[in-house]
Structure 1
């Protein structure tokens, strides 16, 4: 059983079945809970100061504003040990980013829906700064903006169902320039064996890309290479990070011409 069964009983009733739900990308105990009150996707983190708790609280805060693109959070609970959220349980599969995949049109469609969401007042203080240390002052200015940004773009965070496409794991929404989200997708596509030209063919369909300047695309691409170089230096044994660095470099070369 999950360690916070007693904590969530007021929201779920008696749990008849609890199934692990993958590794959770940093979540301690992602699970599917079937109960008297229905089925929930449950995520919990230890209730102690730090990035994981901050991320969980941010996801809980943003959920009411992004329900057009992500499962609805129905409840949250906490005690001195745990912070827990319960979402609608939606059956689906992750996206396939490989060249020729029929999923790519759905990926573009849901990211375009994100671009239509106005920046909520609760997110005004969440300025995107993760790339600042790798950018010049002029480049930093090009990465500022009031677009709601989703920066955890990868195949496992797209949930495809018969009825729609959802974006999971809103643990670190920010606001910044519109170029950030399509650039993230482009690098992921190159890492999935697209040529940079093929990747641009897809990201070129994003409204956020159309709203961006080439100057901002180059600025972000260069800073993104710096970010991955820093991560690879810290964890050179992580082959996926090395692959992402190679993809970021290829995309940077493409956009700067």
Structure 2
């Protein structure tokens, strides 16, 4: 379920005061769409610049993702926006990032953004996986494979983003930047291109053309076909679970995309 949203001016006064202690006086703010992973999502304008704020209540079941983003940020900039501060007070956990002026990546066939996203995937693949607490791909996916042994193929020591929702990819200064690192994972290097394939299908690619798009990435070339088959099946099961009995249009689209890819892999 999405995290319940809150506007910046709806935060407790102690939280707003703590944020302004980091940013200086906020002259104006814009509340922006929160998506699934945060309750607070706002752009704060100060005399010194612009800051993107992202927050969750301290008792939210996903609040651990805030610390994960804080821990990983030094290892993924400048591919990711730089973290400026982390405030935990008055029942809230808030991150402040440098704001990026750009647009969400367009994944549709023929989009000029696709080469930039490919370049970001290549850049990420070149980064060493930091020695910090991260989830492991084989553990995250073991409940969705037909045989638990199949999840061993997802094991690896690559740093993965795993959430390739195009809203997490901002195109700015003619390059792609990645946000929302809360679900960063340690695993096989080919998994990030594989996660991207489902989003490409959701944007209008056929499963075959989505795989072709990912095919320019060296990490994808290393993927064992049977392991990719198992991953496609795991994703279809995962999105079935997320969708539940009455999915919204967004979730239904991702479920359909995952199922299309799974059927393609069965041929």
What SS is found at the alignment partner of 1:25?
A: coil
**Which residue of structure 2 lines up, in the alignment, with residue 26 of structure 1?**
37
Q: Deviations over 1:55-81 (max 9, x none)?
A: 111111111111131100011111132
Q: How does 1:12-51 map to 2 (within 5 A)?
A: 12-48=23-59, 50-51=60-61
How much is the aligned-residue C-alpha RMSD, in angstroms? 1.7
Classify 1:22/1:230 alpha carbon distance in 2 versus 1 (closer, same or farther; 3 Å): closer
Q: Deviations over 1:77-128 (max 9, x none)?
A: 11132111111011000011111111111111111111111110014x5212
Q: CA deviation at 1:163?
A: 4.2
| TM-score, L = length of structure 1 | 0.92
Distance 2:18 2:182 in 1: 22
What SS is found at the alignment partner of 1:141?
A: helix
Q: CA deviation at 1:235?
A: 4.0
Does the CA-based 8 Å contact 1:115-1:207 persist in structure 2? Answer: no
Does the CA-based 8 Å contact 1:179-1:220 persist in structure 2? Answer: no
Q: How does 1:1-257 map to 2 (within 5 A)?
A: 1-2=8-9, 3=11, 4-48=15-59, 50-123=60-133, 125-128=134-137, 129-135=139-145, 136-232=147-243, 234-257=244-267
Distance 1:250 1:164 in 2: 30
Name stretches of at least 5 consecutive residues in structure 1 with no aligned partner.
none
Classify 1:68/1:213 alpha carbon distance in 2 versus 1 (closer, same or farther; 3 Å): farther
Does the CA-based 8 Å contact 2:116-2:174 persist in structure 1? Answer: no
Distance 2:46 2:100 in 1: 15
Classify 1:207/1:235 alpha carbon distance in 2 versus 1 (closer, same or farther; 3 Å): farther
Q: CA deviation at 1:52?
A: 2.2
| TM-score, L = length of structure 2 | 0.89
- Paired residues in the alignment total 254
What SS is found at the alignment partner of 1:51?
A: coil
Does the CA-based 8 Å contact 2:159-2:184 persist in structure 1? Answer: yes
